[in-house]
Homo-oligomer: A and B are copies of this chain.
Amino acid sequence: MKYPLTVGAMMEHAEKFFPKKEVISQTHDKLHRLTYKEVGKRTRRLMSALDKLGIEQGDKVGTLAWNTHRHLEIYFAAPGIGSILHTINIRLSPEHIIYIINHAEDKIIFVDKDILPLVDKLHPHLPTVKAYVVMTDKEELPENSLPNVYSYEELLQEGDETYPFTRDIDEDSAAGMCYTSATTGKPKGVLYTHRAIALHSYALGLADTAAISESDVAMAVVPQFHVNAWGMPFACTWFGSTQVMPGPRFTPKRLATFIEEYKVTISAGVPTIWLGLLKELDENSYDTSSLRGVLCGGSAAPLSMVRAFEQKYNIPFFHAYGATETTPLATYSRLKSYQQDLSPDERANEKTRQGILVPGLEMKVIDENGEIPWDDETMGELLLKGPWIADTYYKDERSKTAFIDGWYHTGDVVTVDEEGTMKIVDRTGDLIKSGGEWISSVELENAIMAHEAVFEASVVAIPDEKWDERPIACVVLHDQYKDKVAKSDIAEYLKPQFAKFWLPDDYLFVDEIPKTSVGKFLKRELRKQVLEHLNLA
A residues sitting closer than 8 Å to B (CB atoms) are: 1-3, 5, 9-10, 13, 16-20, 172, 198-199, 202-203, 205-208, 211-215, 238-240, 334, 336-338, 356-357, 359-360, 362, 385-387, 389-391, 406, 408, 418-420
Contacts and interface: CB of A to CB of B under 8 A. Distances in A.
Contact of A9 (B2, B3, B362): B362
A13 B16 CA distance: 35
A406 B389 CA distance: 31
Given A2-B391, A3-B389, A207 B211 contact: yes
Contacts of A386: 1, 3
Nearest to A172: B2
Contact of A208 (B213, B418, B419): B213
Contacts of A10: 359
Contacts of A199: 202
A167 to B, nearest CB: 9
A339 B299 CA distance: 39
Contacts of A362: 9
Contacts of A360: 5, 9, 198, 202
Nearest to A407: B1
A481 to B, nearest CB: 41
Pairs A-B, 9 closest by C-beta atoms: A1-B391, A207-B211, A202-B202, A207-B213, A17-B420, A215-B337, A205-B206, A3-B387, A17-B356
A198 B207 CA distance: 16
Nearest to A171: B387
Contact of A387 (B1, B385, B389): B1
Nearest to A199: B202
Best-surrounded residue of A206, A240, A356, A362 (most CB of chain B within 10 A): A206
Query: What copy number does this chain have within its complex?
Result: 2
A247 B211 CA distance: 32
Nearest to A235: B359
Contacts of A198: 360
A359 B239 contact: yes
A406 B356 CA distance: 39
Given A2-B172, A208-B214, 17 more contacts: A1-B389, A3-B386, A3-B387, A5-B360, A5-B387, A10-B359, A13-B357, A13-B359, A198-B360, A205-B206, A205-B207, A205-B359, A207-B211, A208-B215, A208-B240, A214-B334, A214-B337
A162 to B, nearest CB: 14
A240 B334 CA distance: 13
Contacts of A206: 202, 205-207, 213, 239
A227 to B, nearest CB: 17
A336 to B, nearest CB: 6
A471 B200 CA distance: 50
Contacts of A16: 357, 420
Contacts of A334: 214
Contacts of A418: 19
A418 B37 CA distance: 12
7 contacts: A5-B387, A13-B359, A17-B419, A202-B205, A205-B206, A215-B337, A239-B359
Nearest to A10: B359
A513 to B, nearest CB: 34
Nearest to A418: B19
A332 to B, nearest CB: 11
Contacts of A215: 208, 336-337
A323 to B, nearest CB: 14
Best-surrounded residue of A207, A386, A420 (most CB of chain B within 10 A): A207
Contacts of A2: 172, 391
Given A16-B420, A202-B202, A239 B5 contact: no
Contacts of A211: 207, 211
Nearest to A215: B337
A15 to B, nearest CB: 10
A238 B207 CA distance: 12
Contacts of A5: 360, 387
Contacts of A13: 357, 359
Contacts of A420: 16-17
